[in-house]
Structure 1
């Protein structure tokens, strides 16, 4: 159905035209106007496909209306109504772009034939536009699929220069410059808590992140991203010298979407390489760094000296006496870390901050917690939940205040964690406690 607006200054003509069975022609009459100015105002508020207009009207006649519509709304089709004495005006309207003209008094048969021709033309144009849009959508989907497939191989496998050149050509990716850096972003609720998200929620998150990153990351012309649809893990490629700052800035931008993600983000930045064939190596170092540190809301950057130091320490042989001393030292480190957590869990703290207070690396502290029988995040969450239970018993505190008092800025995320630990939402828990 195409929307029709009738424009005529004579009430009798408007009413007469309104009585025509427009539905039989595939047309929906949506309104009438007394002159061109009223018609323009109507069109700005209602989608209109066809205008049937008189020539002679006050304020703005049919010729002026046709001229304005052709400039401002070129897709609207115009049919002119004119008397024999106005035929010259009708011809002028046709020059301005009107589709047809009809003589007054209007007879049904000529009117029907005119609109039948117009509808066929609109249907043909609509079909052509639809065909083009389908082809364009298929082309875009194919291009996106090829891009994702190529990036997946580029980030995980060593490729030759010829393979990369062919892949870039097929996926329309441009790898330019002399510096390539890959970073990895993870949602902590999935990677640390092991949350299993329903398919619908995972699809929503990955779809949203894909569109957000296409807009704020890929759009700068020297960056690409790839999202793992299974766990929302994100690989980011930058070809700029200021890659580290850009990665951190992006992570900060994504905090605007915490309400959707219901999670903090962990970021690791791989080493910078100078050949496209070594991009897989940068991605590998980013993954290695993030796997080493189970850190809430963390940012880790590749440092060869840090990695070498940790690898050397792990490989160093020690005597049984030294091992006993190390275990005692490790026990003290964990106790000091737990003491710091107990004193600061009411605010946002990270493994990096805690590790800094006990003078070890985040990766080492994370390993010490696991050796003690629980992870850093498990211990922190248990402390927060225990305090939350106490605070919820006091009705003076609103739930969002309880969330903030135990270190969560997002009430929804707090509620989700609380239910996971107690089997009840904060509201249900408070109700049961009454």
Structure 2
């Protein structure tokens, strides 16, 4: 289904999304229509977790294609040049939002994976307890490993040269060897010139992309070929650098017509190759996360043993564990809450001071008489204000009024304003008190 910009505004989102999901050119038109018009339902769909990378890919293509189109219109004296320049400017703004949103999704995925117990007071107290009573904990762990029939230590993580090497190792360990007739295996043994021709054909074809190039074992060679093609095309396209098109510095009207058309074709190819290089980076990020997940699965039996070790140590050292929990009470989302406030435990320096004070009390034997700090007055109102502010900023980002980067900048400025009105980390008695911030 060939969509026009008017169709994107007129048709239901279900019809538009179905057409865009089946055809890349339709997706590009939807992305451009969303950039230049107010389409709330389409905007929400494009920014969803499952679609946002396709949206980014379409905008990368649209931005490069529109730039070269504007340059060609200027050369031809097209009367629609001003409107096309305005459209290109809006597409570039949408591309900035798409890049910011992709980074935000990556950050959320990483924090979701890594912070499963980072904000849990019980798990934090158990980790601190395990650190203080390391020898006793090691004995418990060794006994649990013997019962489970596991070696005392988890297998070492493989040494990798770079992110691509980690992806290649994970692919070799998790999947059987490729048969000789597999498309990826054929690409791996192809000579340089035929391989470059395959990559060039993939660049020129937007609708049906060569999935064998996206295979984990072919990624390194794909990147090398893309970089070689960009290096070769740069002087012919009059690009600013091998990795950036930039503005066209040469006046096409001073060139022979055939040469001017060749320059425009080279610039169009250059932008498509840059789009493929950006797609390569997205594929690498996704596969790198999968490689990390594969490594976590290999380490899972020992991680479970470690969790049981901490729980058993907490049972044996019940009083010390209770003290550590009490020391964490002021730093919950509410006083004595089992969930810790990320505004504290995500601040490395300040959280290290909290940890050091608690472990020092254990080491010096003063923990039996230590009194935890109290939650400062006004913190509940501050938390409510923060929640309202964050909800407002999320709505603005989803509506496209603010980019995620602008919302983060607003939070940081508000944080500095609040910190300027609050007490310092230590009071006159040397006790650590909450320093509530967003």
TM-score range, shorter chain: under 0.3
Q: Pick the structure with more strand per residue.
A: 1
TM-score relative to the length of structure 2: 0.21
Q: Which structure is larger by alpha-carbon Rg, 1 or 2? A: 1
Q: Pick the structure with more helix per residue.
A: 2
TM-score relative to the length of structure 1: 0.21
Higher relative contact order (CA 8 A, sep 6+): 2
